[in-house]
Amino acid sequence: MKNKVDNKIELIREKMKGDNTLRNESYARLLKRRRLEQRKTLEDVAHGVCSASYLCRIENAQVEIRDEFLTHLFEKLEINYNAVKELTDLNLLEQLVKLYYDEDNSKLDELINKAVENNIYSDLEIQLIKLFKLIVDNDYEEAKNLLKVIDKTLDKLIGIELIVYTFLSALLSYKINNLVTSFKLIRVLLNLKYENDALKKAIYDLALNVLSLLDEDVLFIETYHDYKNIKVVESNPNKEVTHEIEYSLVIGKNNLVKGIDLFNEVKEYIINDYLKEQFNYHYIKFLIFHKKYDEAFSLLNTIDKSKRMLPLLNYCINNCNDFLKSINYLKEIKYYKFNKYESFMLFYNELTILNLEKRNHLELIEFLKNNFIHRKNEAKEIKNSFIINNIYQIYRNCLFEIGKYKEVAKTVIEM
């Protein structure tokens, strides 16, 4: 039985089928929507300018619209044509995605404010613009509420609006750690053709972020090479280097020597704190994949640990045979605070503490059942599959210790 997310994605795919190019239909869409918002008929707006049937063809983007018609039609709908032309030529929605990729938040804010103030966009377009602003400002609760409103009018979205809506839905899901939903939306976006390389670059950038976290290595490598071949006037150096680091990890998982070489090559491009954190996070994951826990501990001891490194630290603790080394981290991991989007991080941290404090097996089994085993749908939204395997391993070890051999076998089969 399909859930709401799958139904939405199926609708998006259906609407995009046969229309894989981005077409500039801004004038036509604006005319039709503004006319409908003002409850005017085709005859009301067309009177004195053109025939109602010709206006209908204009609104459906079936004819080339001449400036003299646009000027008079927009005037009847109280729209400033010059302002529309300026922002339409700018391809506002595409430009917002590009500015997000460039991390130019001041210019992005300026463009959003200008668009809202000029009052030349339909209600639906304004909602998309506001959704963009909420996500950029990390106001995820309001963004989720607004997305639900836009979902109700999904059938009205066309062209670039539908592309940007899908991108923003994937971006919001990524931001709130709903990675499987983000992945499904990314798969839709990766199957489209793009005329605008800057837009394609931004979408593929988000795709690489999601794919690297979900260990979708084959698709990551394919997308990475496509991303590298997208030529834009100016790329974001932080994002370019970040994807080089992610690529080093993906290749290095199965080839220790090649991974070390790639990480050493990219190391010379680490020129700021942002890239330093990216490098350390992915290099620790690389060490973990090759069971080099002592080296991972040593690196964790010498760096400022971002919160996303906590699951990596917990993983090392759960897999290290040095109890004294592990117990040194007990006080540290007890002090972390978590928000509502970090529920899995909180759970894994609590599991590590219980495991480290050597609670009895029945207590650990009960904790795992209540917080993970019986909530498999939530577990599917989690990044880092090696951590999922670690959780099941702890569960199986506890079952084995109390003689629940059939349940041990069942968890192996289910995985």
According to the 3-state scheme, what is the secondary structure of 256-299?
Answer: HHHHHHHHHHHHCCCCCHHHHHHHHHHHHHHHHHCCCHHHHHHH
Over residues 295-338, the pLDDT tens digits come to 999 999 899 889 999 999 999 999 887 778 888 888 889 888 89
What is the pLDDT confidence band of residue 378, given thresholds at 50, 70 and 90? low
Dihedral-angle region of residue 225 (phi above 0 means left; psi in -120 to 50 means alpha; beta otherwise)? alpha
- Please state, in angstroms and as integers, the Cα–Cα distance from residue 376 to each residue in 302, 309, 381, 388, following that order: 36, 24, 9, 11
pLDDT > 90 in the chain, percent: 40
Closest CA to 377 of 237, 197, 178: 178
Q: What is the pLDDT of residues 24-77, one digit of tens each?
A: 466 777 788 788 888 899 999 888 888 889 888 888 777 777 777 778 888 888
Answer yes or no: is pLDDT of 9 > 60.
yes
d(CA 122, CA 92): 13
User: Is residue 315 within 8 Å of 394, Cβ to Cβ?
Assistant: no
pLDDT at residue 302 in the model: 92
Token pair listed for 324: 């004294």
Task: List alpha helices for 291-360, DSSP H.
Answer: 293-302, 310-319, 323-327, 330-333, 343-356
pLDDT value of position 266? 97
How far, in Å, are 95, 152, 352 from residue 359 at the CA level?
Answer: 55, 49, 11
Position 43 scores a pLDDT of 92
Closest listed residue to residue 338, CA positions, set 311, 365, 317: 311
pLDDT at 270: 96
Asked if residues 151 and 8 have their Cβ atoms less than 8 Å apart, the reply is yes
Predicted TM-score (pTM) of the model is 0.82
DSSP label at residue 41: -
pLDDT for residue 147: 95
